[in-house]
Amino acid sequence: MKRKHLIISLLLLVAAAAAYTGLSPDQTQLQAADQPKITVMNPAVTSKMADREPLGPRLDNLEGKTIYMVDISWGGPDAARVVFEEMTAWFAQNIPTVKTVIKRKAGMYSQDDPPLWKEIAANGDAAIIGVSG
């Protein structure tokens, strides 16, 4: 008798839950499909970009070339500088005719440094700039 009451109670509970939602699954899908379409404004802003320039020519090889290594001081005085010193050591072992010049850029990492760029353009064959992180 108790089991029968329990089953009836559960059935009533299920029926009540179904009544509470008010919609069968089929009806819910139908309602979503019936939602009217609306038009809204676009929050994204058009990016005005510089015309892209092709990458300049590369060197045939690094033999006898001068490579400037520009430390932007990201992370303090001992980050990029040590990396560039180790790169210099690698060149000394592997392409000894390469001359490296390690320079620290003036000002904060994001500030321009025209005198340094002028020096590199006049005396360098290539440049490595970094190390950000």
Binding site for another protein (CB under 8 A): 32, 35-62, 67, 73-80, 82-83, 86-87, 89-91, 94-95, 104-109, 117, 120-121, 124-133
Q: Which residue type is seen at 1?
A: M
Q: Minimum distance between the CB of residue 36 and another protein, rounded to whole angstroms? A: 7
Q: Minimum distance between the CB of residue 44 and another protein, rounded to whole angstroms? A: 5
Kindly report whether the peptide bond that precedes residue 131 is cis, defined as omega within 30 degrees of 0. yes
Sequence-separated (6 or more) residues with CB below 8 Å from residue 72: 80, 105, 109, 129, 130, 131, 132
- Tell me the C-alpha to C-alpha distance, in Å, between residue 19 and each of 8, 14, 16, 23, 42: 16, 9, 5, 8, 40
Q: Which residue type is seen at 41?
A: M
Q: Which is nearer to another protein, 16 or 38 (CB)?
A: 38
Q: Which is nearer to another protein, 5 or 58 (CB)?
A: 58
Q: How far is CA 49 from the centre of its chain?
A: 18
Phi, psi of 21 (to 5 degrees): -70, -30
Q: Which is nearer to another protein, 19 or 45 (CB)?
A: 45
Q: Which is nearer to another protein, 19 or 55 (CB)?
A: 55
